[in-house]
Structure 1
Amino acid sequence: MGQRSIGDELRDRLPRIVVNLITALLFWFVSMVAPRFVVGMSVPGVNIPPYNDASWLIWATSTLMGLIFLIKALSDIIVLVDLGTEITLRRLGIEESRPLKRVARDIVYILLTILIAAAAMPFASSVPQFGSILSTIISVIALGIFLLLIYDIGRILYRVLEDKTRVFANWLASFAEKVGEVEEDDE
């Protein structure tokens, strides 16, 4: 299967992104409003708090559904970010194929992670009873992604530097051998 054009990717992914984001927002809204209608109702047969509270179950279910649609939207967004990074690198004239593209993508992902975490914090902190926990979870996940991407950048740059140093060492060794041969011939 060949590579798809940018137009095809946009035509395919943009509507899915919009629909998934709207659905995620709808479930978030439901998670904020619907539990208020069933406050104090308990679920029969479940005797473990907070799982026996109908409002908690509605909140947890709708939040989980919203997160599923958000993840679906983010997976399509990541593909479009990859395409945008590739186009930007081509326009900037960066031709070294893999390592620099990967570093640039990692930097874009770091910025995207920071922006998403910053945008999600007000929503997470507004969740009753679990706002501080959700904020902490978002912070830890963002930190983990950030550290993973920084590690990947360091690893890539280390390999590139190691390869360039090896090429330089080989050149220097061959130069020294040639100089040594010239001095032996002069004697």
Structure 2
Amino acid sequence: MSDVRIGSDGTARCAWAGDDAEYQRYHDEEWGTTLRGDRPLFEKMSLEGFQAGLAWITILRKRPRFREVFGGFEPATVAAFGPDDVERMLQDAGIIRHRGKIEAVIANAAIVAGMADGELDGLLWSFAPAAHRSPATFAEVPAVTPESTAMSAELRRRGFRFVGPTTMYALMQSSGMVDDHVTGCWRAAA
């Protein structure tokens, strides 16, 4: 399979975007685009944690319901959730019903809610590499980097859960800390 695929609209994209319109929109408008702010990064970190072991398209399709169930991923709102909320979410087929991941998002929200405004943003972005070369092929895209490993370790030190190095590298890719659009993709860095 080629690393770049020409869509029905004639646009050259990273091949993982395939033919699915929502996946193509995500690729074109979100993945690798700079994302800043505590709430948006908390949401992205939470969804990346839910994605562990699953295809991202599964999370993307369920994202609207995740946002409803998790109060728009407002950290203070989510931090106030209790055992009854967890049980309610475990019955909601519109999200990924994994007790450990649900409880991790709530616990992580409590940590974020206790941080100063902008602190999560600053913390996460402090691990963005100073320089990153866009890959020529998918074979060059790592699953883990020294930066994602360091980010994971610091988050774990602070008590965050479901923030392993691979999950944190996915966060770095999706939030624009690194640009892993492959050569030939219209979004690849020049």
Assess same fold via TM > 0.5.
Answer: no
TM-score (norm 2): 0.24
Query: Higher relative contact order by CA 8 Å / sep ≥ 6: 1 or 2?
Result: 2
